[in-house]
Amino acid sequence: MPSTQVAIIGAGPSGLLLGQLLGKAGIHNLILEQRSAEHVLARVRAGILEHGTVQLLDEAGVAERLRAEGLVHDGLYIAFDGQRQHIDLSGLTGGRAVTVYGQTEITRDLMAARAAAGMATHYEAAGVALHDFENGSGKPWLSYLRNGKPEVLQCDYIAGCDGFHGVSRHSVPPEAMKTFERTYPFGWLGVLADTPPVAPELVYAQHPRGFALCSMRSKTRSRCYIQCKLTDSLAQWSDELFWAELRMRLDPVSAAALQPAAAIEKSIAPLRSFVAEPMRFGRLFLAGDAAHIVPPTGAKGLNLAASDVRYLAQGLIEHYREHSSAGLNHYSARALRRVWRAERFSFAMTRLLHSFPDQGSFDHKLQQAELDYLFSSRAAQTALAENYVGLALDA
C-alpha cells in the first residue's frame, strides 16, 4: 500500500502550512484536496495577519512576497454615531501591528513552495474516507478516488485540515466529541473591487442599518463588507446598491472618500461560532476551520488556523526527532485554550458592531454605551488592541 508519514486532508492554509513546516523538518507528507488548485485560489477570504502568523510564515520560508507586498497596519478605525475613532494598535500594545495580505496570496505562496520542494498534493481527490485512526496504536489509512480510480494511502497520522464542511470531523464517532455552537441571524456580503481604500487603515462601522467594514488588499484594491440578511441573494445586490448601502453606514469622512467601482468578486457568508472538543482522536488531529469557526469580525479564523498548525507541527516534529509524544499529547488542550480566547473576542466584536434583529431598546442602549466607553477609555482600547494584534502564542 502507498504510504506517507502524515496524510493531510485539505489544501487550504492549514493543510498547506502544515505540509510546508513538516517538509522542512524532513517529515514526508501528502495532501489530499477535493477541489482543483484553481478553485482553491479563487476563494476570497481573510486579509489580516497577526504578527505571530507572519513570523510563522517566515519560519516556513514562504514570507518573501508577504514582506515585500503586505501592508503593515499600526491601527484601525471604529466608526459610530457619525464619528471615526482611531485605535492605535501599536501604541497600545508595545509596538505590535497587523499585516494586510490576502489569504489567496498566502495560499499561492504555499502552493509554489510545495511544488518547488517536490511535495505532492493530490487535487480533485473525491470521496476521501478515514480508516482505523481511532486507536492510538493502530495504523490509519485513507481511501479516495483519483481520476475516477480508487486509491489508498497508509500513514502514521492524519491531519484533518479540511475546513468546517470537511470529512475529518464528521468521521469521528459523535459520542467521542462535544460541540459548542452559536449561529447569528445575519451574514456578510463582501465585495472586492479595484478602488482605493477609504482610509489608510481598516474602518469597522456600527450603524442602525447594520455593520460595515472597509478593508483592503492593496493601496488600489478594496475589500468591503456589509451586514446582510441570511435570506438575501447576490442577485438582489447590484454593485450600485452595495456601494450606496455601504456609504450610508459609514461616518461622513469615510463616506466622502468612497469611490464605487465594479465588483471583481461578490459573495455572502453566514456568521457562526463553533468549537469541537477535543481536537485529537487517536491518530487523527483536527486543525483550523475543521475544528472551530469564528465570526470574521475579529479577523481571527486564519490566525487560529496558523497557531493550531504551529502547535501540531511542533508536536509531530518532536515525535519524529525525539521520540517524545508530549507535544502531541498536549496539542488539543494547548490549541483549545487559544481557540476559546479567540471565540470570546470574535463574539464580543460581533455583538459590539452588528445590529441584531431581536435587539430590544435596552440592548441597543447598552451597545451604544459600550461604544461610547471604547471611544473614551484607553483601557477599553488596550483590551481591543491586544486581542486584535493577537494574544501571546502560549497564552
Catalytic residues: 73, 204, 296, 300, 388
Selection from ligand PHB, ligand RFL, none that 40 binds (CB < 5 to 8 A by kind) is ligand RFL
Which CB, 141 or 188, lies closer to ligand PHB?
188
Binding site partner of 297, from ligand PHB, ligand RFL, none, Cβ cut-off 5-8 A by kind: ligand PHB
Our CB check for ligand RFL shows the closer of 43 and 378 to be 43
The smaller minimum CB distance to ligand PHB, of residues 4 and 297, is found at: 297
Amino acid at 59: E
The partner in contact with residue 34, picked from ligand PHB, ligand RFL, none with C-beta cut-offs of 5 to 8 angstroms by kind, is ligand RFL
Residue 223 partner contact from ligand RFL, ligand PHB, none using kind-dependent CB cut-offs of 5 to 8 Å:
ligand PHB
Tell me, residue by residue from 239 to 268, as one string, x for binding to ligand PHB by CB under 6 A and - for no binding. ------------------------------
Quickly tell me which residue has 507535544 as its cell.
Answer: 327
Q: Which of 14, 121, 215, 307 binds ligand PHB (CB under 6 A)?
A: 215
> Closest CB to ligand RFL among 185 and 379?
185
Q: Which is nearer to ligand RFL, 6 or 305 (CB)?
A: 305
Cis peptide bond prior to 278, omega within 30° of 0: yes
Q: Contact at 8 Å (CB) between 342 and 304?
A: yes
Q: CA 206: distance to chain centroid?
A: 22
CB of 67 to ligand RFL, least distance (A): 18
Cβ(8)–Cβ(27) under 8 Å? no
End-to-end CA distance of the chain: 42
Pairing mode of beta strands 76-80, 203-206: parallel
Of the candidate spans 62-70, 167-175, 179-187, 293-301, the one that interacts with ligand PHB by CB under 6 A turns out to be 293-301
Q: Which residues bind ligand RFL (CB under 6 A)?
A: 9-15, 32-35, 40, 45-48, 103, 125, 128, 161-163, 165-167, 188, 190, 269, 288-289, 296, 299-303, 305
Residue (of 71, 75, 74, 82) closest to 254 by Cα position: 82
Q: Which is nearer to ligand PHB, 24 or 96 (CB)?
A: 96
- Helix or strand run (H / E) with residue 171: none
Q: Is 299 in the site for ligand PHB (CB under 6 A)?
A: yes
Are 107 and 13 in contact by the 8 Å Cβ rule? The answer is yes
CA atoms within 13 A of residue 264's CA, in its CB half-sphere = 13
From the CB of 134, what's the least distance to ligand RFL, in Å? 18
Q: Which of 230, 305, 242 is nearest to 269 (CA)?
A: 230
Q: Considering only 10-18, 25-33, 41-49, 107-115, which stretch makes contact with ligand PHB by CB under 6 A? A: 41-49
Question: Would you say 167 or 328 has its CB closer to ligand RFL?
Answer: 167
Q: Interface with ligand PHB includes 29 (CB under 6 A)?
A: no
Q: Does 197 bind ligand PHB (CB under 6 A)?
A: no
Residue 47 interacts with ligand PHB (CB under 6 A): yes or no: yes
Best CA proximity match to 261, nearest among 326, 195, 323: 195
Residues β-bridged to residue 151? 144
Name which of residues 310 to 349 contact ligand PHB (CB under 6 A). Answer: none
Whole-number minimum distance, CB 128 to ligand RFL, in Å?
4
50 close to 139: Cβ distance less than 8 angstroms:
no
How far apart, in whole angstroms, are the C-alpha atoms of residue 201 and residue 390? 17
Enumerate residues 6+ apart whose C-beta is below 8 A from 89: 73, 74, 75, 76, 96, 97, 98, 385, 388, 389
Pull the grid cell for residue 62.
514562504
- Residue 296 has phi, psi (to 5 degrees) of -70, -5
Q: How far is the CB of 357 from ligand PHB (least distance, A)?
A: 21
Task: Give the residue carrying C-alpha cell 478605525.
Answer: 77
Q: Which residues bind ligand PHB (CB under 6 A)?
A: 46-48, 202, 215, 223, 296-297, 299
